[in-house]
Structure 1
Amino acid sequence: MRFGFHFMDFTIPGEPATIAPMMRDTAIAAEQIGASWFSVMDHYFQMEQFRTAHDPMLEGYTALGFVAGVTSRMKLGTIVTGVTYRHPALLAKIATTLDVLSGGRAFLGIGAAWYEREHLALGVPFPPLAERFERLEEAVQIALQMWSDDDGPYEGTHYRLAETINRPAPIQAPHPPIVIGGSGERKTLRLVAQYAQGCNLIASDVEAVAHKLQVLREHCDRLGTDYAAIEKTVQGPIVADPLTDPNAFLRSAEQLAALGVEHVHLRAAGPDMAGFVGRVGDTIAERLAAIRPAAG
């Protein structure tokens, strides 16, 4: 089973000067122990459910560009960019830039956005949820067109582009993987089935994951897309701290693997994120990598 790390806490002793070296050391440690992904949040403010809006938060893609310069193998992306944060064409250009400068390691993590306070605070439009989902689908369509040979116009309900020129093209072919975040059954998982190469499920127990994956399979069957080709990633309460009870964590990973989950995404816990990642490597990384997910 593959695993990755999510760097989400910038409240580090001595910050802001200590943030860059801690992120560097954490990313290097993650790559050294075999992590396949390294991700950051994409928010203007730190999440209030985690800390407060006044705690430190870095811009996601600048942070990933920094990580790209100190690593060479891990995939890099946001979990996840809210569709409201950037115009979709600009987002596709940014993800392309990350892919080119990282040597073909970017993925585009994207979702419908939810953090109203940061939008209102900085004057960023925050339309109703139904419209945000419409914009999410159009944003994915725009990215796919910009990553194709079609550089003509795009005409959507919310976005209209006269040209979709995007040079240089990404290194990855046909394009960087699209990972759509969230577990909503009617809209989010339908978009995963229709457009994405990866999902990022947040669930509280194995039974909930099994249900979400069945819903995703049904969407794929209706749309005629390949369920097996979608990387199934799980993050959240079910993916507990692997150092508190390593054996229990590995049992949960085995249960997830039996459902076809291929990737678990762990929070790089602070205040010493690099040290945490190193202890994961010493404790469970080899055993986790030895778990084989069930075929699609």
Structure 2
Amino acid sequence: MEIGVHLVNFTYPGGVAAIAPTLAAAGRAAEEAGIDNLSVMDHYLQMEGAGLGEPDAPMLEGYTTLGFLAAHTTSVRLQLLVTGATYRHPGLLAKIVSTVDVLSGGRAVLGLGAAWYEREHAAYGVPFPPVAERFERLEETLRIVRQMWSDDDGPFEGRHYRLAETVNSPQPLTRPHPPIMIGGGGEKKTLRLVAKYADACNLFAGPHSAPEQVKAKLDILAAHCEREGTDYGRIRKTVTWSDAITPDAAGGAELAERLAAYAALGVTAVHLMPGLAEPVAFLRGVGEHVTAPVHAL
């Protein structure tokens, strides 16, 4: 099972001046730890009520951060977990992810979701349509990025987006395109979109989501794949581990034991969150105590 680390906090000792050197060190530590994927959130404001600080806490723009991490890493895959469909125009989003992929040597992943954090949309004046429209926009975004990452550079006509051209130069290094991950477990819409457009799904796992619940979601995904004519086996099944872990010997062994049930379901990657922990120390602890037992699953 592969391991990702999802950075969710940018409040570090030393204040704002410490953010860049801490992230640079985190990139190096991730590779030394054998981490497969390094991700950050795509938010304008810190999430209120998540125990990570108030909305006025430091929060970096996601793709700028990935560009910085690309310069301080050489092998780890890079993504946002996940980009809200409302945050950027789809054509621009395809261009941005292409740029990250080219500058990182082919290591970009596109994570997508329908978006949910209404407060930050209002704060920045970004439209936040009703949920049904957000899913319509998410599907059009998926269609647009796939077209821009193909040989078709013609127009796109959708209900919400109209592009006169879908020229995208340079194209990503990753062929046929950077992997597309859709986050969320909505059974009628989200998992249908995974089956129709994506290369990976991302579900929540941990103390509030037992393996049986993840299995139920995957069974629904399999049914959507059958209806869409998609090979269920080619879709990577990933989970974000919502429980805090202690990256020591006992914590690593316990995590591997709990993840074994998910591996049996076909889950091939887990994303761990340091929470408020200092990220470099967390990553080093993962490398020393967690990577080997989880990779062995």
TM-score when normalising by structure 1: 0.95
- What are the within-5 Å matches in structure 2 for residues 1-296 of structure 1? 1-50=1-50, 51-203=53-205, 204-237=209-242, 240-243=245-248, 245-291=251-297
Secondary structure at 2:146 match in 1: helix
What amino acid maps onto 1:3 in structure 2? I
Secondary structure at 2:267 match in 1: coil
C-alpha separation in 2, matches of 1:252 and 1:32: 25
C-alpha separation in 1, matches of 2:245 and 2:185: 18
C-alpha separation in 2, matches of 1:114 and 1:263: 24
Q: Gaps (5+ residues) in structure 1?
A: 292-296
TM-score when normalising by structure 2: 0.95
What amino acid maps onto 1:253 in structure 2? L
Using the TM superposition, name which of 232-241 and 206-215 deviates more.
232-241
C-alpha separation in 1, matches of 2:30 and 2:184: 24
Using the TM superposition, name which of 267-276 and 176-185 deviates more.
267-276
| CA positional deviation for 1:167 | 0.4
Percent of paired sites with the same residue? 55
C-alpha separation in 1, matches of 2:275 and 2:131: 31
Q: Gaps (5+ residues) in structure 2?
A: none
1:129-159 superposed Cα distances (whole Å, 9 cap, x missing partner): 0000000000010000000010000000000
The answer to whether the 8 A contact 1:84-1:113 is kept is yes
The answer to whether the 8 A contact 2:242-2:273 is kept is no
The answer to whether the 8 A contact 1:11-1:271 is kept is no
| CA positional deviation for 1:112 | 0.2
Secondary structure at 1:135 match in 2: helix
Partner of 1:294: none
Secondary structure at 2:57 match in 1: coil
The answer to whether the 8 A contact 2:247-2:282 is kept is no
| CA positional deviation for 1:246 | 2.8
Secondary structure at 1:16 match in 2: helix
C-alpha separation in 2, matches of 1:105 and 1:97: 11
Query: After the TM superposition, which parts of structure 1 deviate over 6 Å for at least 4 consecutive aligned residues?
Result: none
